[in-house]
């Protein structure tokens, strides 16, 4: 009897012990899942010059597997904005991936005047490295002017460099900056008479075989064909007339109308570079990104990889034809199809539910100023150089010389410090005198001095955005902001760069593993993306991050 009781006790104890151990393991596993999400692949998508309303305007024309997949099955931040100016491509890509603004990451424009060397510099340019894949200088690039880390850097560091980062774009800066400082590779398109993807010796000494194979397959050549509308043009009801005075022309065209015969326009418009300014540039980017999944073996193990893809051709099309054009509507309908086949490739090669995506834009864009004026909306087009004689006269009268201003770059006046020191005025007084003068010029809405931005902390309004875009070591002495919907630009097409909502309001969509399904109209900002992804992945934030995680995006 005693043995039977003892045996029963030991059996029960064994069951309890095993159950408690199993529960402990389950609890530990659940705790780990609460700490972080481990997608096999993170995919960052940037659409160049995409306004948020391109989601809503063209929604009924989109298929089910592109933008609609992200909106319907992911999380939509409807009130997402850039929190700085200038809103341009280089700063946009840097801000998305660093979670910071130009004030911190240092990429203040696509190109800018370097106060140290006295020369203009390009945000991704670096003569310390050589081109790989071309004899041209198109590959002399690196991320060295971005002075903080990116979310891609942090994932590499968190995985002891075992997780791979690959960045892809038509534009070099659209690949170099998202890839960060530790990318395994950044690849971009070189058109001209070559039509292939290249890189820099910053990443490697020669192209991998899969890229040589891709380039030699005449992947770009198949897009040398007429650009016609994807759907019947009379169904394009969310854009203006096809033939109007607000759109630009390719060389050799007499009117900006469909079809655009690329075969006839080829030689006079940069040959393979012409594809960049059509939807086919995006299609080629999608082709290359899909090839990279196998070529780089992305998402094939439990260590997260990162694929950064920037669709650049939307920007070229927007600049040429304007945000209200049939061409812009068509480029987004075709991009929707490219996204759909890209997502299907991810489903097949990485696995449904095994990857996480975010999609946003590097900036938005304003409508054509002439079109707005004709529509009785306050707007204007100015010739900034027309004010130079008046400004030079002011400088001579006030300071005795025009040499007090060294240069004007990106709507910023850079002063010659040695000349200022010889004046019977402080630097603050010189800056303010110039600001007061320029504020009276046609089309100018605001003028800020460096002294203002150093001495004050602005928390809202245009001043806040200008301050976030101001970098103490790199920005100028006097910053000019034009009136809303005023530009110093071509009479045709669209541009961007301002602190106003038409340039700051961009889409922000999340989808996939670890992402909650839903939407919000609460304001989110571009630096929040990197902070959100770092929180999802359970890794350190980028070193200059100023954004905050968007709590609603992450699964409960």
Nearest alpha carbon to residue 187 among 203, 175, 195: 175
Delineate the domains of the chain, giving CATH numbers in brackets. 41-368+498-553 (3.40.720.10), 383-441+444-482 (3.30.1360.150)
d(CA 548, CA 85) in angstroms, rounded, equals: 19
Measure the N-to-C terminal CA separation of the chain; round to a whole number of Å.
53
The average pLDDT across 170-199 equals: 98
pLDDT reading at 12 higher than 60: no
The average pLDDT across 538-548 equals: 98
Query: Which pTM was predicted?
Result: 0.94
Q: Which whole-number Å values give the CA distances from 164 to 183, 297, 303, 476, 500, in the listed order?
A: 7, 9, 9, 38, 37
pLDDT reading at 267 higher than 60: yes
pLDDT digits (tens, 9 = 90+) for 104-137: 999 999 999 999 999 999 999 999 999 999 999 9
pLDDT digits (tens, 9 = 90+) for 476-506: 999 999 999 999 999 999 999 999 999 999 9
Residue that has been written with the tokens 């006790």 in this structure: 9
CB 175 within 8 A of CB 164: no
**pLDDT tier at 33, thresholds 50, 70, 90:** low
The average pLDDT across 169-175 equals: 98
3-state SS of 111-137 is EEECCCCCCEEECCECCCCCEECCCCC
Q: Which residues are catalytic?
A: 89
Q: Which whole-number Å values give the CA distances from 262 to 254, 284, 340, in the listed order?
A: 14, 15, 25
The average pLDDT across 289-306 equals: 98
pLDDT reading at 202 higher than 50: yes
pLDDT digits (tens, 9 = 90+) for 65-103: 999 999 999 999 999 999 999 999 999 999 999 999 999
Torsion (CA) 427, 113, 185, 80 in degrees, nearest 10: 60
Q: What is the pLDDT of residue 149?
A: 98
Q: What percent of the chain has pLDDT over 90?
A: 93
Q: Which whole-number Å values give the CA distances from 462 to 83, 368, 446, 469, 470, in the listed order?
A: 9, 22, 9, 11, 12
Provide the sign of the torsion angle of the four alpha carbons 199, 203, 207, 209, taken in this order: negative
């Amino acid at each position: 009897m005693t043995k039977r009781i003892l045996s029963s006790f030991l059996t029960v104890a064994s069951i309890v012990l095993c159950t408690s151990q199993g529960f402990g393991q389950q609890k530990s596993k659940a705790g780990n899942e609460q700490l972080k999400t481990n997608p096999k692949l993170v995919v960052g998508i940037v659409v160049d010059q995409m306004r948020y309303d391109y989601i809503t305007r063209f929604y009924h024309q989109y298929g089910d597997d592109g933008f609609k997949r992200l909106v319907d099955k992911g999380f939509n931040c409807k009130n997402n904005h850039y929190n700085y100016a200038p809103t341009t491509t280089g700063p946009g890509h840097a801000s998305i991936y660093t979670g910071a603004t130009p004030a911190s990451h240092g990429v203040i424009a696509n190109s800018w005047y370097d106060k140290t060397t006295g020369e203009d510099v390009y945000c991704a340019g670096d003569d310390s490295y050589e081109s790989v894949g071309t004899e041209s200088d198109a590959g002399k690039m690196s991320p060295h002017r971005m002075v903080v880390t990116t979310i891609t850097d942090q994932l590499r560091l968190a995985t002891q460099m075992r997780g791979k980062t690959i960045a892809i774009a038509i534009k070099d800066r659209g690949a170099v900056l998202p890839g960060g400082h530790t990318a395994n590779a950044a690849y971009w398109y070189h058109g001209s008479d070559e039509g292939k993807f290249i890189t820099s010796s910053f990443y490697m000494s020669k192209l991998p075989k899969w890229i040589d194979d891709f380039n030699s397959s005449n992947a770009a050549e198949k897009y040398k064909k007429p650009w016609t509308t994807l759907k019947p043009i009379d169904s394009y009801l969310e854009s203006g007339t096809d033939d109007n005075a607000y759109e630009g022309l390719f060389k050799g065209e007499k009117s900006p109308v469909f079809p655009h015969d690329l075969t006839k326009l080829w030689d006079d418009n940069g040959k393979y570079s012409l594809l960049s300014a059509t939807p086919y540039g995006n299609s080629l980017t999608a082709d290359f990104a899909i090839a990279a999944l196998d070529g780089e073996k992305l998402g094939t193990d439990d260590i997260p990889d990162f694929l950064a893809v920037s669709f650049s051709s939307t920007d070229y099309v927007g600049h040429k034809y304007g945000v209200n054009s049939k061409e812009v509507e068509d480029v987004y309908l075709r991009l929707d199809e490219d996204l759909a086949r890209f997502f299907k490739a991810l489903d097949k090669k990485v696995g449904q539910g095994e990857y996480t995506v975010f999609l946003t834009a590097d900036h938005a864009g304003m409508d054509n100023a002439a079109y707005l004026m004709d529509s009785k909306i306050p707007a204007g087009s100015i010739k900034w150089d027309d004010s130079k004689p008046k400004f030079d006269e002011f400088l001579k009268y006030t300071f005795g010389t025009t040499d007090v201003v060294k240069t004007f770059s990106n709507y910023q006046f850079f002063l010659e410090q040695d000349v200022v020191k010889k004046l019977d005025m402080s630097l603050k007084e010189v800056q303010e005198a110039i600001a007061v003068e320029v504020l009276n010029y046609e089309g100018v809405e605001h003028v800020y001095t460096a002294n203002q931005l150093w001495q004050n902390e602005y928390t809202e309004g245009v001043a806040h955005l200008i301050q976030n875009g101001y970098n103490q070591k790199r920005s100028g002495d006097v910053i000019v902001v034009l009136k809303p919907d005023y530009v110093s630009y071509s009479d045709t097409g669209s541009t961007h760069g301002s602190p106003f909502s038409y340039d700051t309001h961009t889409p922000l969509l999340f989808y996939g593993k670890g992402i909650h399904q839903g939407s919000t109209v609460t304001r989110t900002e571009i630096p929040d993306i990197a902070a959100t992804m770092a929180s999802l992945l359970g890794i350190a934030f980028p070193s200059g991050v100023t954004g905050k995680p968007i709590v609603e995006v992450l699964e409960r």
